[in-house]
Amino acid sequence: MSISHLCNQSGVRRAGAPRVLVVDDYRGAAIATATYLSLDGMEARVVGGCGDALEAVKNWLPDVVLLDVWMPQRDGFETAEAIKRCAPAPGPFVVAYTCADETWVMGNPASKSFDGYCRKGTSPVELVLFVKSLFAMAPSHY
């Protein structure tokens, strides 16, 4: 698990529990991830692809998006780019959340819209700490 180029965020974040959007076409895994984050006090929602992710980003304003890379229709690279284009400032941290190797994902020229990487299968405790660290790095809350 690592954090890549995270300092490109600016603006103000809302106060309260982190909001995490889990975007994955494998619904069972996404629900399990969101459930664990919720048990730790985070607000977590699940969507299955790009269209629903864009709707959630516009209307729910998550702080962090955990985004699968390999999805049908629009992959995670395209979805991350679309999220960055449509999200109101300061926008969420968009994290590649995938089984794919970090070197392959973050070395891909299309990865420029990802703010970080976290490998699927990371222990739930580590995932919670990772998301909390992203939320803590955000600019001041109002």
Residue 139's pLDDT is what?
57
Residue 9 domain-assigned? no
Report residue 43 CA to chain centroid gap: 13
**pLDDT value, residue 3:** 39
> Which has the closest alpha carbon to 18: 40, 50, 48?
40
Q: What is the pTM of this model?
A: 0.88
**Within a domain: 95:** yes
- Which contacts (CB < 8 Å, 24+ apart) does range 40-44 have? 40/128, 41/17, 42/17, 42/18, 42/128, 42/131, 43/17, 43/18, 43/19, 44/19, 44/20
Tally of domains within the chain: 1
How is residue 8 annotated by DSSP? Answer: T
Q: What is the pLDDT of residue 136?
A: 87
Does residue 39 fall inside a structural domain?
yes
Identify the CATH number of the domain in which residue 107 sits.
3.40.50.2300
- Which domain, by its residues, includes 64? 19-137
The string of DSSP codes covering 34-101 is HHHHHHTT-EEEEE-SHHHHHHHHHHH--SEEEE-S--SSS-HHHHHHHHHHHSPTT--EEEEEESS-
Assigned domain for 32 exists: yes
- Does any domain span residue 11? no
List, edge to edge, every strand of the sheet that includes 19-23.
Answer: 43-47, 19-23, 64-67, 93-98, 116-119
pLDDT, mean of residues 78-101: 94
| Inside any domain, residue 98 | yes
Per-residue confidence band for 88, with pLDDT thresholds at 50, 70 and 90:
confident
Six-digit token string for 90: 């300061």
Mean residue pLDDT across the chain: 88
